[in-house]
Structure 1
Amino acid sequence: MRAIKCVKVQGWVRRSLLMGVSLGIMGLTSSPAVAQVQPPPPCHPNPRAEQDRDTVAKRGDVVALPGPLKDRLLLLAERPHSVLPLQVYAEADSPSQLFQYYLLNTHGFERNVFVSVIPGVNDTAMKTATGPDCGLPTLAAVRLALEPKPGLPTDPNDVRAFIDVFTDISGLFVINNESGWYEGWMIHDLVVPEVAPPRPDGRAQFGTITAEDAAALAKMGDGQNVPGNIFTMDGDSVRFPSEDDRFPRLQTNVVPIQLSMGAYNSLQQSDAHAYWEFNYTTNWIHPLYELPFTGGFPDTFGGSPDAFQDGEIGLLSSLVPGSGPLGVKNKPQIYGDNPNRPRDPDLFDADVDSQREFRQRFIPSGLANEVFLDVYARPASFMPGERDLNRRLFLAYAAEVARVDTNRDGVVSAAEGDVDTASDGFPDNSRLFIPATQFNRFAVTREINDGYLAPRFAPSQRAWLLTGNLRSVRPAVPASEGRDADDR
């Protein structure tokens, strides 16, 4: 068994570590999943494996892909499945361009009941997520392809670019009850920003920290928290989720911002496929003030390491949008889900602003990043006397939403959050969105309908099923064949 190194925690972030799951499992390793093609008996192999592999290998959206990604898609095609890896269709006159991808497996994070058999917990229960087809390892591929539409950017670093996200998974059971589903998440880990002079009120300018903040961060741990580095809550070197994690005493020290790729279920032969359009209308993050009530956020009120133990799960809902417990609270009759005009987060663009959705529960990803900078990376310039993590989060959320919320209702509406809208002294809102290329990790979680938009047990790993790191493709390569019937 590998030795377990405990994370040092110091100063005002002592109780702000992101949590994993406590299952008492010892001796686990982080060996990669075996690239097994067919299931062992008594499960049944794919009788058309060679034909399916050949079909995908010759497809125009696959032939130019990088070797590791192409190999993974061909492996998925050979395995038992209901549907081959998703066909990518162009949405412009020229082919879509693959610029990054993720290869996922069930390793690299703390074991939980969805990915492991744990004696005394689920060793006599049927498997409910991974492990179908007589234990065939669960694997996935995620492709990001830019649409080179006329008038839109062809640089994926530009937040105005339109990008298609294709997820193909082999080895997830169909979920049969409680409105269950799986959900994909692109993850951006908080980065220490550059130093700049403060605003007139002493607070940091957008996307920066003050010299006083930088000095305080430099004193943490081993000096990790300098501009340009991934922020860590103890100041030590980056420690991503690991199979050595043991909730609550040992866990990751990074601060993830998780962007939903939508929910989906599996098909008959335990394969799952999902499509997501990533652009400035969907690059929005769940209301961060939900986090203390999902079961995976550190609790600082009662001193316990788990909101579940304190009975705090579900205490706060974002069904009626607002800016959180310490912000604006709205009337359900106005901001609730009106049956005569149901909330439609896709109702983003219209010729008349009054027809655009004003009851958004989400906030733009870059604004979420700004909230977390306040909470974690601005110990001097944001609420320097406040040590309670939950209060820092609630205060930061209300303060940052207010900077772009022109009608003071605590909600960033579609019009207020539009990339071309001016706010807070800036000519537009491009700063409010994290480019796709900066989401350095990807995860798939098991979700059960609890009314929250935040990942289940977020931001812990307790509902994780799959994960993988970003792989960039430079230059981008053609990754589509044929044309979508509707280029919207």
Structure 2
Amino acid sequence: MVSLPIQVRRRTLGAIASLVLATPWIPLHQAHAEQPPPPCHPNPNADADVATLGSRGDIVALPTPLKDRLLRLASRPHTFLPMQTFAEADTPSQLFQYYLLDTHGFERNVFVSIIPGVNDTAMLTATGGNCGLPTVAAVRLVVEPKPGLPTDPNDVRAFIDVFTDISGLFVINNESGWYEGWMIHDLVVPPVAPARPDGHARFGTMTPSDADVMARIGRHNNVPGRLFTTDGNAVRFPSENDRFPWIQSNVVPIQLSMGAYNAMQQLDVHNYWEFNYTTNWVHPLYELPFTGGFPDRIGAPPDTFEDGELGLLKSIVPGSGPKGVKNLPQLYGDSPYRPRDPDLFDAEVDSQREFRQRFIPSGLANEIFLDVYVRLASFMPWEKSLNRRLFHAYAQEVARVDLNGDGVVSAAEGDVDAASDGFADNTRLFIPATAFNRFAVTREINDGYLAPRFAPSQRAWLLTGGREEVSPTVPASAGRDGDDR
């Protein structure tokens, strides 16, 4: 990585980055490799790296936009080429979707922009490296055709590998910070169905009374099958024209973490993550009012910071939140005698599986958000506080799956084959990979929260992009994984 004085970095970014950012990318088979301008140094092996990657077995059959993006990363200065996808079965893994990410499509923040009077004399810490080359990324999702497992990525029992390759992020050095990827599913207005005997909506639905309320909000966007919007108007995704806190997106995201990662010496980032029913779990939603980007009422501006609520409540000891079960740290905390291990999902003896999960299944999070935002007639119709609606919904919906009443969805209780709430299994509790329509990367700090920083706002976003479907799927692996696990 080039280490330049702040003044040189600023001149490079100001004088050259605008030219680089304004120059459209030309596919590599039509142009020379993309290199940083002086005083930064080019990749002397660009031609060989592009040729090597382009002929690799997991790359040759990829769709052209994805292949071009990966070749673009290979042409630049890097520590490693984009990750190789290894097969975990006798037949190749199959690419079924991808995301192409860049630093546009959301309000400018201090991590992706030079803002006069804020950071125009400061060192660069996230983007802007390599003398202003734009930060870009590619995310590949492949399904593993293992014996006995479904090969349809819409099936929540499918095992899926996620590969993220990024070019143009500085390494994070202080306070154990990290970058984090997020697959994002935006809340969808559910179908209408009769209520349960207690008057509450059935799982994954809203009552006729809820539908009547939805129909009266805004310009009547919130009808079954459409993305839910907080104001009832047309969908408005994050935009560079947003102005925090007053002008914000009107969709409700459910964000699934891809885990923490950091950058290499040459500003490249590579992350592997496994998507399946043991990992398709999200942060405890009751953290949201304390992250810095959550409003008090539906559609209102975020005010967590102004209200002094930042960091007031943590989920370090698992439980079902402020209106639910609160557990003793001696029983549910991270014990030195048996350290918590959220990855310890399976065991032949259930007592050896982890029972202190802080996460909840993604589809359960969706159900909670339906209570909070959509079921305005069948769930606490008198309550206008978004915080209180969230806290009560979290406690009540977790209780439907939590068989032992400890406020935690354990590995055994959240298993896809377990039964709960009158259902024969838990497939309903998981959002399929194909329903995550967006992807984002954030700059995180060690604040103790599992929720995205400043969620659901984009104040810590670095990159984003939308889902691209690949149908029919294409082979996208080369070689064989060492243990096929």
User: Under TM normalisation by the shorter chain, which class is it?
Assistant: over 0.9
Residue 35 of structure 1 aligns to which amino acid in structure 2? W
Question: What corresponds to 1:240 in structure 2?
Answer: 237
> 2-side partners of 1:290 and 1:306: how far apart?
14
Aligned partner of 1:418 among 415, 421, 439: 415
Deviation at 1:35, TM superposition (A): 3.0
- 1:289-438 equivalent positions in 2, closer than 5 A: 289-299=286-296, 305-438=302-435
TM-score, normalised via structure 2 length: 0.93
Deviation at 1:33, TM superposition (A): 7.8
Question: What corresponds to 1:35 in structure 2?
Answer: 25
Aligned partner of 1:73 among 70, 75, 78: 70
Shift in CA distance, 32/232, structure 1 to aligned 2, threshold 3 Å: farther
- 8 Å contact 2:296–2:385 — kept in the other structure? no
Question: What corresponds to 1:171 in structure 2?
Answer: 168
> 2-side partners of 1:433 and 1:41: how far apart?
49
User: Alignment partner of 1:194: what SS?
Assistant: coil
- 8 Å contact 1:34–1:137 — kept in the other structure? no
Equivalenced residues, count: 458
> 2-side partners of 1:408 and 1:264: how far apart?
35
Deviation at 1:299, TM superposition (A): 3.3
- 8 Å contact 1:166–1:273 — kept in the other structure? yes
Deviation at 1:247, TM superposition (A): 1.1
- 8 Å contact 2:292–2:302 — kept in the other structure? no
Encode CA deviations 1:453-484: one digit per residue, 9 max, x unaligned: 00111111000000000000000000000000
Aligned partner of 2:202 among 201, 205, 221: 205
RMSD: 1.4
> 1-side partners of 2:236 and 2:455: how far apart?
18
Deviation at 1:222, TM superposition (A): 1.0
Residue 446 of structure 2 aligns to which amino acid in structure 1? N
Aligned partner of 1:85 among 77, 82, 86: 82
Question: What corresponds to 1:59 in structure 2?
Answer: 56
Deviation at 1:305, TM superposition (A): 4.1
User: Alignment partner of 2:259: what SS?
Assistant: strand
- 8 Å contact 1:33–1:106 — kept in the other structure? no
> 2-side partners of 1:305 and 1:74: how far apart?
40
User: Alignment partner of 1:151: what SS?
Assistant: coil
Residues 1:192 and 2:192 are matched in the alignment: no
Deviation at 1:306, TM superposition (A): 1.9
Fraction of identical pairs, as percent: 78
Deviation at 1:34, TM superposition (A): 4.1
Question: What corresponds to 2:278 in structure 1?
Answer: 281
- 8 Å contact 2:297–2:384 — kept in the other structure? no
> 2-side partners of 1:336 and 1:254: how far apart?
34
Encode CA deviations 1:208-232: one digit per residue, 9 max, x unaligned: 0011101110111111100000000
Question: What corresponds to 2:41 in structure 1?
Answer: 44
Encode CA deviations 1:339-360: one digit per residue, 9 max, x unaligned: 1111001100001110000000
Encode CA deviations 1:118-162: one digit per residue, 9 max, x unaligned: 011101000110110001000000000000000000000000000
Residue 159 of structure 1 aligns to which amino acid in structure 2? V
Shift in CA distance, 32/254, structure 1 to aligned 2, threshold 3 Å: farther
> 1-side partners of 2:276 and 2:480: how far apart?
20
> 2-side partners of 1:396 and 1:363: how far apart?
13
Shift in CA distance, 369/305, structure 1 to aligned 2, threshold 3 Å: closer
- 8 Å contact 1:73–1:85 — kept in the other structure? yes
> 2-side partners of 1:271 and 1:425: how far apart?
48
Structure 1 unmatched ranges of 5 or more: 1-27
Aligned partner of 2:153 among 152, 156, 175: 156
Residues 1:468 and 2:465 are matched in the alignment: yes
> 2-side partners of 1:358 and 1:295: how far apart?
29
